[in-house]
Amino acid sequence: MQIVLIPGDGIGKEIAASVKDVSAALDCGIDWLPYEAGAEYYEKSGKLLQDGLMDAIRECGLALKGPTATPIGTGFRSINVQLRQTFQTYANLRPLHSMAGVKSRYENVDLVIFRENTEDLYRGIEYMCDSDTAHGIKMITRKASARIIRAAFEYAVANGRKRVTAVHKANIMKLTDGLFLETFNQIAKEYPQIASDSVIIDALCMKLVTDPTPFDVLVTENLYGDIISDLCAGLVGGLGFAPSANIGDTVTIYEAVHGSAPDIAGMNKANPTALLMAFAMLLNDQGMKDKAERLNNAIAAVIAEGKTVTADIGGSASTQEFTAEVIRRL
């Protein structure tokens, strides 16, 4: 099976190497197709994406992506946004659960976030009305709302989840968020076996930090989803433990939620767990459930023991030492 591998910027190369080592040890039969993309590639080539990358993703239908840096300011379009819009990977799935050995405020968090990936304020429709006034357009459509909401309910059914909660601010944004909520309420009726409810984004943030354990599957628009998924990563010990899948009808791109960590790039200190967990999601979705489980169990065992873990979780192991220990336990 051919899968595009985009190591990306910063710690990307180190954590992508970790995935390649684990994949070889698991004997998954994956032929990785490496492609360059990101700010570092731009520096040396003047291009954000290596030629052929988009075609390769289109042909394979699968990619595993490391973090790519997006310098703040004009003229540099986020690669993530570009990939999501090109391949219409409309559902950003982020499972988050507590792990033994990872210090966090709560022990039994088990949440899944479905974030709409293609519209909302992230369409990038912004313009200057005059030199002192900038306008940004929030776009919400029934079609995009329906497909993410349906994806969340289908996931709940397939994975034995009990409840789907819509997250919105329809009390203020009556048309945009109102449309999202109306669509949710209509689709929820098709799934009587799954409990459904809705919560306003600000109230949800308060509830999540007070006690996240009652929540199950959350479905929301792009901006709210971006923010609450990092908030929830914080509830389970940080961004180093948050994998994600960007799912479309023909292409799925798996990635870690964290960024390129420029402060530790090239130092062999990065925690590869999130990208390894994203790889486990890919294996699971490709019918290699046993290998996915072996990988998740090996990661959990190494972290629970706490002897060979990286600095972000209180250890002193390098990326390579952590990876070797995961492989030893596979």
Nearer to ligand NAI, 188 or 326 (CB): 326
Nearest to 237, CA basis, from 62, 138, 130, 96: 96
Reduce the secondary structure of the chain to three states and give it as a string: CEEEEECCCCCHHHHHHHHHHHHHHHCCCCEEEECCECHHHHHHHCCCECCCHHHHHHHHCEEEECCCCCCCCCCCCCHHHHHHHHCCCCEEEEEEECCCCCCCCCCCCEEEEEEECCCEHHHCCEEEEECCEEEECCECCHHHHHHHHHHHHHHHHHCCCCEEEEEECCCCCCCHHHHHHHHHHHHHCCCCCCEEEEEEHHHHHHHHHHCCCCCCEEEECHHHHHHHHHHHHHHCCCHHHCEEEEECCCCEEEEECCCCCCCCCCCCCCCCHHHHHHHHHHHHHCCCHHHHHHHHHHHHHHHHHCCCCCHHHCCCCCHHHHHHHHHHHC
Selected range binding ligand NAI among 53-61, 106-114, 202-210, 252-260, rule: CB under 6 A: 252-260
Please give the angle made by the CA atoms of 270, 218 and 110, to the nearest 5 degrees: 55
Q: Contact with ligand NAI (CB under 6 A): which of 140, 261, 283, 299? A: 261
Q: Contact with ligand NAI (CB under 6 A): which of 22, 113, 152, 264? A: 264
Q: Using the structure block, give the residue that is written with the tokens 């998740």.
A: 296
Question: Torsion angle, CA of 191/192/194/199, rounded to 10 degrees?
Answer: 90
Point out the residue whose Cβ comes nearest to ligand NAI: 259
Residues 227-246, interacting with ligand NAI (CB under 6 A): 239-240
- Rule CB under 6 A: say whether 299 interacts with ligand NAI: no
The site map against ligand NAI for 20-59 (x = CB under 6 A) is ----------------------------------------
Residue 309 buriedness (CB in 10 A; 0-12 / 13-18 / 19+): buried
Catalytic residues: 122, 169, 202, 226
Nearer to ligand NAI, 80 or 165 (CB): 80
Q: Contact with ligand NAI (CB under 6 A): which of 13, 115, 168, 258? A: 258
Nearer to ligand NAI, 53 or 199 (CB): 53
Nearer to ligand NAI, 178 or 259 (CB): 259
- Nearest approach in angstroms of CB 139 to ligand NAI is 22
The site map against ligand NAI for 53-92 (x = CB under 6 A) is --------------xxxx---------x------------
- Rule CB under 6 A: say whether 14 interacts with ligand NAI: no
- Nearest approach in angstroms of CB 138 to ligand NAI is 21
Please work out the total of residues on this chain that contact ligand NAI, with binding judged by CB under 6 A.
20
Q: Contact with ligand NAI (CB under 6 A): which of 18, 85, 165, 260? A: 260
- Nearest approach in angstroms of CB 302 to ligand NAI is 14
Nearer to ligand NAI, 80 or 89 (CB): 80
How far is residue 329 CA from its own chain's centroid?
26
Nearer to ligand NAI, 36 or 255 (CB): 255
Nearer to ligand NAI, 198 or 273 (CB): 273
Residues that bind ligand NAI (CB under 6 A): 11, 67-70, 80, 239-240, 255, 258-264, 270-271, 274, 312
